[in-house]
Amino acid sequence: VCCTAGGLDCSISFISHVLGKVCVHGRQKEILSVLVPRLTALTQSDCIWQRICWRLVECVPERWLEAVLLGFVQGAPGADVLSRLLGNLVVKNKKAQFVVTQKVLLLQYCHKTEVLQNLLGYLALDSVRRTLLIKVLQDLLETWGSSSAVKHSPLEQQLYISRAILICLSLLKQPEIESCRQELLMAMMEGVKCHLDSNLPQIRRLGMVVAESISSRINTDGPVLKFQYEEDGETRELKSLLMQTPPSSAVPSLLDHDRKDMTDSVLPSILETDKKSPTAAAMKLDEELDAELDSDDDLIPYDMSKDKELTTKAPVYIRDCMEVLTASGSEDVDKWEAAVKVLESLIRKNPAATKEVSVELAKILLHLEEKTCLEGFVELRQRAQVAVLTTDPIPVVKFLTSQFYSLNYSLRQRMDILDVLVLSAQELSCPKSHRKMKHSGAQTPGIQLLPESNSSKDWRKIVDERIKSKTRRFATGRSQVELVSGPNEFSAVAGHFFFPLLQHFDRPLTTFDLLGEDHLVLGRLVHTLAALMYLAVNTVAVTAMGKALLEFVWVLRFHTDSYVRQGLLSCISSILLSVPTEHLLEDMTEELLETQSWLGDVVEKDPDGDCRRLALHNLLLMENLKKKLSTTPS
Amino acid sequence: MARPPPDPQFVLRGTGAAVHTLHFSCGGQELDVPTLFSGSENGLIHVWNLKSHRVDRALDGHGRKSVYCVETMGTGDKLLSQGRDQRICLWDLAEGRTSVTDFVFTENVGFCRCSLLQVAQGRWLMAMASKALEEVQVLELPSKTSVCTLKPEVGAKLGMPMCLKLWQLSSGSQPLLLAGYEDGSVVLWNLSMAKALSQLGCHQEPVMSLDFDAEKVKGISGSSEKVLSIWSLNEQQNLQVYKTHNLVNAGISDITLRPDRKILATAGWDHRIRIFGWKKLKPLAVLDYHTATVHCVSFSDHKNLSERLLAAGSKDHRISIWSIYTDT
């Protein structure tokens, strides 16, 4: 097939048929890996070979065209090569057009970035095909911007579509973008809204990057949309796709932006220093200094050792701190800052004094807002709250959980309550000696639950951590102090932490609707419950908690938000790990069976990859527990 | 082993309000009593008798608005004071009088202290911040005629003038003005042409105070940050930074050089007065007495070198008088 040099009148359609049949049977790679390079070389300069190639592909019967096309698109080393090989096939053949513009871009998402670049570059290289490119961009934007797609399609597909959008943007010339500016703008606005609504940070970031790119292309002069997000490999890669080669019109506009920013921010500090005079003047001054060195030496300095940095005195009593923090008006801001910084240590040093004012202090801290630009304010406040909670758990927990469901708190405050509850629970469930070591260093909780929590927990990691914290290491050689064990302080209060949070979740308030709009808080609540459940291991209330939590999970199991579902699955993991297995199988057999069937469903059908993985882990956990029970002697 | 820093020689109490400005008048005739003038936030100018350490007179001419600059014109008989009532008042204090003989309405609501320079017998030049934001106006006193108005070029974005210093290389030569601005730069102005000769960006924060040594053509400026900047003027009349010095705590309200050009004093926001040697800016002493921001420092003009004093006025309503390095 590939070595026919002459014989231009041999039947091309026969070859097309063979090619098609081979490709449909899955042997695209083998045949095209030989064919494509030969054709590339041959069509480089020879027009006739180009025509032959086009005829070759055109004659492939419709039912096999897709396989052949895909093979070509994947195998071609560049967009121009693809253009030479395929010609205007997409315009002439309906099926080819469908495959290229719809199927590859919207329905599949397994292809690599280079394939996308080749494909879209191919569309861009010919003026006839460019109309297709614009249509492709519009279709992509429609998919990108539809809220159901954002919610239900997997992350990889969304990433793929975003990449395609960015490549299209980079390939389109400025006048073309101008012509469809309005549609682009509207699509961008809608799309951004859906993306920012999502609970998963990656989707939010994707939306932000794409929106910024679109905005930078349609507003070449004037202010550009700019979001604040953390750059990482993914965003950088996406942005690099935008800065592609051809559009010479795109690059200068970006440079203009940079220049404008620079001129606005640079202060007009003109340093008019003559080049020659500094050295001359400096030398002259040095000479003068040397000459008058003697007369300066008889000024003997005084003792300046007491000259240190000025620090405001921090209050020494908790009630003083409380007074300073509640003082209204901008009185002594230095004192306020000092009070905030010193509060946590004061609370821990004076537990008796704290117990007298614990609820009031918790209230003050919950409502405390940043008065000055204090570094680490959020962390300081959180640590103080945790300190108050652990010093006097029951009243403060009652207060906080009641406030969680009250009116007129911001979402941020409610989520802060949840964070504080988890951190305190962790501290209480940890033996006292471990706590001292933790405080000396930075507070890095084993379960990351400060803002932007990572939802997926590897069950193996959890089990490992548990084993590590429980084993007593016997000293070898060096004599170590044996870790002092004490009663589990969390045991007494675990129920107080847990059950109030479950009570009112289905009762909407005017400003707070967990099951409705505020699904972000619902997601955090579910994760908090999972953490509390996990920390309640070895407490008395754990079985009751497990049962209640299973019921809670059952009610919410079909929630549309993937972050909430991930949380529910973590709850199941925590239940399986914390509740003693005998109790699980005695008290909750039916619920467990139902849960198992639900988990099986999730593994197969859930669109979110993390959810599927968590469900699989849970099923494995269940299997392991069953095996463990059956192997241990009853 | 270095000596511990000295205590104040005496402390003047009784102003009843934060002290913003001080000026000595001790070099006069022998009949005159050495006097210290102080301007306070309650609008009063107290005339302190340095022999009895008591207030001789209290001048009320600024409608209870804070007085932030006090200077004598010639002998201790004529006084100039600047207040936040937007007026610069000229007082006649001879023979026990306390009357305002004249005043200039500056229409400026800022805090920039005016600067006086005697150019001839009975004639002074006074530079002050004027009504427009970035402008400095120079008047001739006592005629109050405007000599020139110094406007920075459009787009210079210097901000308000924060401190001014009129000087001349030697008596009879052309007077020049050094102005420190809000954006941290110091500009040298030529008055006859009303043109800026040189501009130097010495600080990132506003220049709070500056002083200049006309003999060595070297100046020092302090700002609200931790850096003191020493700059000099070269032959081409260009300013260039000579040295910087880092302080322990940020914020300087006032800097002044002693008339013999051997030492300088800075008034800090950290309640401390620092003394440096002028030649190499060697830190010499840290005087820690006040309990609030020190607003102003001033050296006396005693003819007898051993009697020289340093005065510092602070927000804690007290004026501390120190005798330091008087034997050089």
The answer to whether the CB of B319 falls within 8 A of the CB of B39 is no
CATH 1.20.120 correct for A488-630 = no
Q: Can you give the pLDDT at residue A632?
A: 66
Is A304 in contact with B328 (Cβ distance < 8 A)? no
Nearest-CB residue to A296 (from B198, B280, B286): B280
DSSP-derived 3-state class of residue A619: helix
Average confidence (pLDDT) over B274-284? 90
Q: In the prediction, which pLDDT does A436 show?
A: 57
* Partner-chain contact A280 B157, CB within 8 Å: no
- Rounded to a whole number of angstroms, the CA Rg of chain A reads 34
A345 Cα to chain B: minimum distance (Å)? 26
> How large is the average pLDDT for residues B218-239?
89
Residues of chain A with pLDDT under 50: 1-9, 246-294, 438-457, 475-479
The pLDDT of residue B73 is 87
Are A217 and A179 spatial neighbours (Cβ–Cβ below 8 Å)? no
Instruction: Kindly state the average pLDDT of the residues B7-27.
Output: 90
Give Cα separations from B8 to B56, B167, B288, B316, B322 (angstroms).
21, 31, 9, 15, 5
Q: What is the pLDDT of residue B165?
A: 92
- State the helix-helix crossing angle for A377-391 and A333-349, rounded to 10 degrees: 30
pLDDT the model gives residue A110: 77
Query: Does A301 reach chain B within 8 Å, measured CB to CB?
Result: yes
Q: Could you read off the pLDDT of A232-261 as tens digits, one per residue?
A: 777 788 778 777 554 333 333 333 444 444
CB contact under 8 A, A281 and B240: yes
pLDDT for the residue numbered A2: 45
* pLDDT band (50, 70, 90) for residue B78: confident
Instruction: State pTM to two decimals.
Output: 0.56
Give the residue with greater pLDDT, A197 vs B288.
B288
Q: Specify the pLDDT at position B121.
A: 84
Chain B residues whose beta carbon lies within 8 Å of the beta carbon of residue A264: none
Domain boundaries, chain A: 318-391, 488-630
In a 10 Å sphere around its CB, with 0-12 CB exposed, 13-18 middle and 19+ buried, how is residue A149 labelled? middle
CA A203, chain centre distance (Å): 7
Burial, B194: exposed, middle or buried (Cβ in 10 Å; 0-12, 13-18, 19+)? middle
Q: In whole angstroms, how far apart are CA A558 and each of A78, A211, A565, A566?
A: 45, 31, 8, 11
Which residue of A lies nearest to B185 if distances are taken between CA atoms? A269
**DSSP assigned state of A117:** H
Nearest Cβ partner for B279 among A280, A292, A304: A292
B288: chain A residues, CB-CB within 8 Å: 306-307
Asked casually if ipTM beats, i.e. exceeds, 0.85, the reply is no
Say yes or no for a CB contact (<8 Å) between B282 and A301: yes
pLDDT at A84: 74
Identify whether the C-beta of residue B68 lies closer than 8 Å to the C-beta of residue B23. Answer: no
| Segment A442-445 long-range contacts (CB within 8 Å, at least 24 positions apart) | A443/A383
Residues of chain B in contact with residue A273, where contact means CB-CB under 8 angstroms, are: 238, 240
pLDDT at B188: 92
Check pLDDT > 70 for residue B297: yes
Q: Are B213 and B257 in contact (CB under 8 A)?
A: yes
User: What's residue B17's pLDDT?
Assistant: 92
Residue to mutate among B279, B289, B328, with most A CBs inside 10 A, is B279
pLDDT at B70: 92
The answer to whether residues A306 and B2 touch, using CB atoms and an 8 Å cutoff, is no
Average pLDDT of the segment spanning B136-152: 89
Query: What's the pLDDT score for residue A461?
Result: 63
